[in-house]
Structure 1
Amino acid sequence: MIALWQHQKIRNALLQAAFVGGLLGLILTGALTAHHTLAAQGILSGWDFLWKATGWDMTFALLPATSSDPYWWFLLMGGLNTLFLGTIGLALATLVGILVGLARISENKAARLLGTLYLEIFRNIPLIVQVFFWYALANRLPAPRQAIEVFGALLSNRGLYVPGLNIAGWAIAGSLALLAAGLGLGLWFSLARRFRRDAPYRRRRRAWGTALLAVILAALTLALGHGMGTPWITAPALRGLNIRGGYRIQPEVYTLAFSIAIYGGAYIGEIVRGGFIAVGRGQDEAAKSLGLTRWQSFTRIRLPLAIRAMLPILTNQYVWLIKATTLGITVGYADFFMVVSASITHSGQTLELIGILMLGFLVLNFSLAAGMNRINRAIALKGHQNRS
């Protein structure tokens, strides 16, 4: 026995087995203790509640959700709401960040000053304070009868009404899913290592073919969801004391998206600025020596190299902004976190629902980080930038 213990590999294996066994024992002890405690208080654990009716309504849902729907459907709608808000927030924050970052590295002093003022103001005010401010401002807007009209849209204290498609919600959701799948497959066909040996024109043809097929299927899905004899587009208009027609974007939705966009855009702007600063001056000098214009030097040399420097830090910022969507509970937006919180109050299944909440955000953030890391590995240059 002593001889086996002196063997390094055996000793390491035994120590690891003891550590894993102790950890599993600790988890099992905690689970059994929690089970006995809950049973003593009359709280039963299990997953049967997922198929029971909730008995309460959601304030916002991308698909129909009523009080007679089960908990699993509400949890799914909450997850979709979080994904919806996160997608819009990340897209807008990226756009704002690019503009702020370019302003910060501009040769124009006024642009640099505006970029710096924006950065210092919005980065140093907590996100929750900005959410409260914009939501309070949205509630102070005029009533529907005095709604502000901007390019065919109507803005009031009940929300932002925009022209929309006269198509069923399931058809719109299905078409968006098809477009997202087509985009993902197209990127995979373009960047995957198994296809790098193919000729460039074959990879482009495969990627564009996949995208075209997704567009055709999405168009067919929209056509199926359109009612015969009705207009394709409906515009909002004042009828009586309320606004009818078009899409209504609730104040909770657009204030949260706007807050995430301007707050996250300040941080992304610094990431963009740092990415461009990381590109050496020698690259510009080499471009000038080759006779490239400033635009060609920017789009073909500086921008690709800056993107490679930005992606690792940008991944962390995206994950953080996705987690920031949980602030929706402060203004009543029915995101994943709020739905779980309400479900705990109504069902009493605390441990199960907290586990679902943790698992949901783990899957969402891990998928986002994995996708960004995959893109980073695909475009990374071999050498010191590719070291792990």
Structure 2
Amino acid sequence: MEQTKPPSELDIKGIIIQALFLIAVAVLITSAYSSGQTNLSKMGLTNGFSFLERATGWSYSFSMIDHSTDDPYYRTLFSGFLNTFVLGITAIVFSTIFGFAIGTARDAKNLAVQGSAAIFIQIFRNIPLILQLIFWYAVLIHLPSPRQAMGFYDTIFMSNRGVMIPTLNMSLYTWLIVVAIAIGAYFSINKFCKQKKPIKILAWVTIMAVSVLLLGNLFVPENEPLLSIPELKGLRFVGGVTLNIELVAMLIAIILYGSSYIAEVVRGGLQEVPKGLTEAGNSLGLSDRQIWFKIKMPMALRTILPPLGNQWIFLIKATTIGVAIGYSDLFMIISTSITQSGQTLELIGILMSAFLLINFSLARLINLLNKKLQLKGH
């Protein structure tokens, strides 16, 4: 039997260097914290997180939950986090869908389709995001007033107050329960259901429909319908949900900007697929659609996913530009809170932790998808 060799001198030296580096970092952080505490004390500012219980005394334009000027800081910060999270995830979903569609069009054989996709990419990728945001905001605030709002099938309305859409009359917490059921149903069906994919999708949709109906009827406010549709009453719309101008402008700008970058990522991934594979598909009599779904896209995904993950993280960071038009995201809420409370270090720490949490979760998701798509040797 081979005997385990003792650590070499090089290994010991490396461990010592790493230990000294960690000690130096710890000393630096401790010194910076101590210096910050001293400076705050000299200026007469308090420190710690007790301020989170105090009422803010100020309001903001948009929130996913009920809000007022009497809300404590922790609720106001949570509202800002929700605004950032919902905006970021929505932008990621739609940017990815449009990006894949435009990237596929960029790789098409039809020159008109290919040229249109190329023009879209060149326009929205080369104009700074903040300029696009200000442009769309300027367009949206010049829409007609609610009384002359543009309507679509008498269910969706657009005005200079925002976009009014139908919604299920459920609270945020009921929606969180629905999301938890959706995630649990997805993993349970994948694990225990051995049927083909269309059957799994049908089962998941059925579970979700039943859950929404049951929860909706259970938690819907008394004497109110489950489906709330916006309706003009006087000078404003009631019912449904109103996406304010700032949110709509943010969504349009980030989605168009993000989809142009994702489209290039998709086009690059598709071009990395060896031509021999598509030629083999043609020789087998597969249609262009079958080749795309069964050969090109599955192979391209292995190249697309890593840079796609970087784009997702960038889109989350891009939500911070909302401060330019007054969108109440976490960055704006933190900025206002710093001005009002003076708790600079604590609030910046909360802001950094929130973005770290979201982006780290996205990075982990991309890593899991990468592992799932890796070619497995036999």
**Structure 1 and Structure 2 fold alike (TM over 0.5):** yes
Higher alpha-carbon deviation: 127-136 or 289-298: 289-298
| Matching of residues 301-320 of structure 1 within 5 Å | 301-320=295-314
Secondary structure of the corresponding residue to residue 298 of structure 1: helix
C-alpha deviation, 1:318, in angstroms: 0.6
> Which residue is 1:3 aligned to?
none
In structure 2, the CA distance between the partners of 1:23 and 1:321, relative to structure 1 (3 Å rule), is same
TM-score, with structure 1 as normaliser: 0.88
Structure 1 unaligned spans of 5+: 1-5, 384-388
1:380 aligns with 2:364: no
Secondary structure of the corresponding residue to residue 97 of structure 2: helix
In structure 2, the CA distance between the partners of 1:325 and 1:121, relative to structure 1 (3 Å rule), is same
- Deviations along 1:209-239, one digit per CA (max 9) or x if unpaired, are 7886566444432222213443232322222
Measured in 2, the distance between the counterparts of 1:218 and 1:248 equals 21
Instruction: Give the conservation status (yes or no) of the 8 Å contact 2:305–2:366.
Output: yes
The residue type equivalent to 1:265 in the other structure is S
> Which residue is 2:79 aligned to?
77
Measured in 1, the distance between the counterparts of 2:196 and 2:153 equals 43
> Which residue is 2:170 aligned to?
167
| Matching of residues 131-170 of structure 1 within 5 Å | 131-152=133-154, 153-170=156-173
> Which residue is 1:290 aligned to?
284
Match of 2:275 among 258, 278, 281: 281
TM-score, with structure 2 as normaliser: 0.90
Match of 1:258 among 252, 259, 281: 252
Match of 1:126 among 128, 133, 140: 128
Match of 2:241 among 228, 237, 247: 247
Instruction: Give the conservation status (yes or no) of the 8 Å contact 1:235–1:246.
Output: yes
In structure 2, the CA distance between the partners of 1:177 and 1:334, relative to structure 1 (3 Å rule), is farther
The residue type equivalent to 1:261 in the other structure is I
Instruction: Give the conservation status (yes or no) of the 8 Å contact 1:171–1:224.
Output: no
> Which residue is 2:66 aligned to?
64
Q: Count residues in correspondence.
A: 369
Secondary structure of the corresponding residue to residue 111 of structure 1: helix
Higher alpha-carbon deviation: 229-238 or 257-266: 229-238
In structure 2, the CA distance between the partners of 1:132 and 1:181, relative to structure 1 (3 Å rule), is farther
Secondary structure of the corresponding residue to residue 221 of structure 2: coil
Higher alpha-carbon deviation: 289-298 or 211-220: 211-220
The residue type equivalent to 2:250 in the other structure is L
Instruction: Give the conservation status (yes or no) of the 8 Å contact 2:80–2:330.
Output: yes
> Which residue is 1:28 aligned to?
30
1:366 aligns with 2:360: yes
Higher alpha-carbon deviation: 348-357 or 71-80: 71-80
The residue type equivalent to 2:86 in the other structure is F
Instruction: Give the conservation status (yes or no) of the 8 Å contact 1:340–1:354.
Output: yes
| Matching of residues 163-202 of structure 1 within 5 Å | 163-180=166-183, 182-183=185-186, 185=187, 190=190
Secondary structure of the corresponding residue to residue 161 of structure 1: strand
In structure 2, the CA distance between the partners of 1:207 and 1:298, relative to structure 1 (3 Å rule), is closer
Structure 2 unaligned spans of 5+: 1-7
C-alpha deviation, 1:151, in angstroms: 2.6
> Which residue is 2:293 aligned to?
299
Instruction: Give the conservation status (yes or no) of the 8 Å contact 2:56–2:72.
Output: yes
Measured in 2, the distance between the counterparts of 1:250 and 1:212 equals 32
Secondary structure of the corresponding residue to residue 52 of structure 2: helix
Measured in 1, the distance between the counterparts of 2:354 and 2:287 equals 48
The residue type equivalent to 2:94 in the other structure is L
| Matching of residues 336-347 of structure 1 within 5 Å | 336-347=330-341
Measured in 1, the distance between the counterparts of 2:147 and 2:294 equals 52
Secondary structure of the corresponding residue to residue 292 of structure 1: coil
